[in-house]
Every structure is written in C-alpha cells, then in structure tokens.
Amino acid sequence: MLPSAVTATLRALQPVCRVRSQTVSDSELVERLRAGDEHAFAELVSTYQQPLVRLALTFVPSRAVAEEVVQETFIGVIRGIGRFEGRSSLKTWIYRILVNRARTTGAREPRHVSLGEDRDGLAGRFSADGAWTDPPSAWPDDVDDRLSAPQVARRVIVAIDDLPGLQRQVVTLRDVEGLSSAEVCELLEISEGNQRVLLHRARTKLRAMFEDELAVERRS
C-alpha cells in the first residue's frame, strides 16, 4: 500500500512534472511498471491524469464520462504495458489507448474536417482589397501573466471547449499538451494538411478571444 503522504506529495509535485518536461526516461519507467513497481505506477497516474482528462473531454460530453475513460485507459496501460514495444513514445502510446476508448464511448459530435467557411473573429477588419481597416492594437508587455491569471485561464478552457471537435482536439494536443504534428496526425488519423488548417483556425479564434479579454481589461 502506498502511504497517502506519498500520493499527496506526488500530487503536489504535479505542476512541475508536467508531461512534456518529464525527466524519467520511457524505458526506465516501462521497466519499473512491468516489474510491478507501485510507486512508478502512482507516478505515471499523477503525471498523466490531468492531461488525459483534458484530452478525454475533447471527445466525450461530460466530466464524469471523461474520468471513466481515463480510468479505463490506466487499466489498459496496466494490462498492455507488457506488449509496449517502444515504437512510439510512452506518452503517444497512452494517448492512443485513451483516444480509442473515448471513440468507442460515445462521441460529442460527428467527426469530420470541414474546410468550408469558418468564423475566425476577423470579420469586418479588412477592406475589400485585404488591408487592415481595424488593425490589432498592441498588447501590454505583461500579456503572458495577464492571460495566465486563473480567472482568464478558466475562460480559455471554456473557449477551447466551444471549438468544433477536431479543432478542439488538435489545439489541445499541439499547443496545450505540446505534442508534435506527426504525433497528432497519427493519433487523430488526419492528414498533415488538415491538421494545419484546424490548428490555424483554432489559434486564430483563441487569439481573437485573448484580444477581447485584454480589451475588456483595458476598459475596466
């Protein structure tokens, strides 16, 4: 039994050991998991729990369902780690288990890449010949801090959640979780070209949302 103090410590460490800055090598972690090392497993759960819930939420309609999918994913890891061959990173392998589970659990909306018109928050800001009529105004120097404030972060999460399905998934995996475009294309089974279109659209809308946030701040 893992003492709850250890679990608590692992949880407290979570912000620093985010997935992308993981230091323990995949092969070392995999060895320990195969050997039945509970601490290694607890560490894995702590590291991946939040990114997996976030990713699951881009596929399924509710938090409860997302947590269920994540739980099933970890059970899939326990059962499947013996067969992990290291052809992809451990992270991608785990994400793939989650995506497969999430897809069979009931999708939020039909899955298709729409390449037609899409609102990008830039309507009416260009003249007929494509020059800015309402150019972006400068953002303050401390923009990163302002936009990372907890109350803004909550609205960002909601804004990501409001994006169409694949845009939401692509931007979450690429810009929030830091996966490569090759990993994202493989996970979501989309082409590089479509991935770029979806990413462009999501980033464009989120930039516009940040612009609105900053404008509101300036007025108040």
Partner 1 sequence: MKVLKWWSRELACREAVALFSDYIEGALPPRRKAAVERHLQACADCGRYLDQMRATIRVLGHLEPDDVPAPAMDELLEVFRRFHAEEEGGSG
Q: Which residues bind partner 1 (CB under 8 A)?
A: 1-2, 7, 11, 15, 36, 38, 41-42, 45-46, 49-51, 53-54, 67, 71, 74-75, 78-79, 122, 126, 129-132, 135-139, 143-144, 147-148, 153-154, 156-157, 171, 175-176, 178, 181, 192, 196, 199-200, 203-204, 206-207, 210-211
Q: How far is the CB of 141 from partner 1 (least distance, A)?
A: 11
Which two tokens mark 125?
A: 């800001």
Q: How far is the CB of 114 from partner 1 (least distance, A)?
A: 16
CB closer to partner 1, 4 vs 87: 4
Q: How far is the CB of 115 from partner 1 (least distance, A)?
A: 13
Count of alpha carbons within 13 angstroms of residue 35, beta-carbon side: 9
Q: How far is the CB of 45 from partner 1 (least distance, A)?
A: 6
Dihedral sign, Cα of residue 48, residue 165, residue 125, residue 196: positive
CB closer to partner 1, 16 vs 110: 16
CB closer to partner 1, 24 vs 157: 157
Dist CA 48 CA 29 (whole Å)? 13
CB closer to partner 1, 100 vs 181: 181
What is each CA distance from 95 to 27, 106, 186, in whole angstroms?
17, 17, 11
CB closer to partner 1, 15 vs 110: 15
CB closer to partner 1, 165 vs 172: 172
Q: How far is the CB of 122 from partner 1 (least distance, A)?
A: 7
Q: Which residues partner with 126 through β-bridges?
A: 132
Q: How far is the CB of 131 from partner 1 (least distance, A)?
A: 5
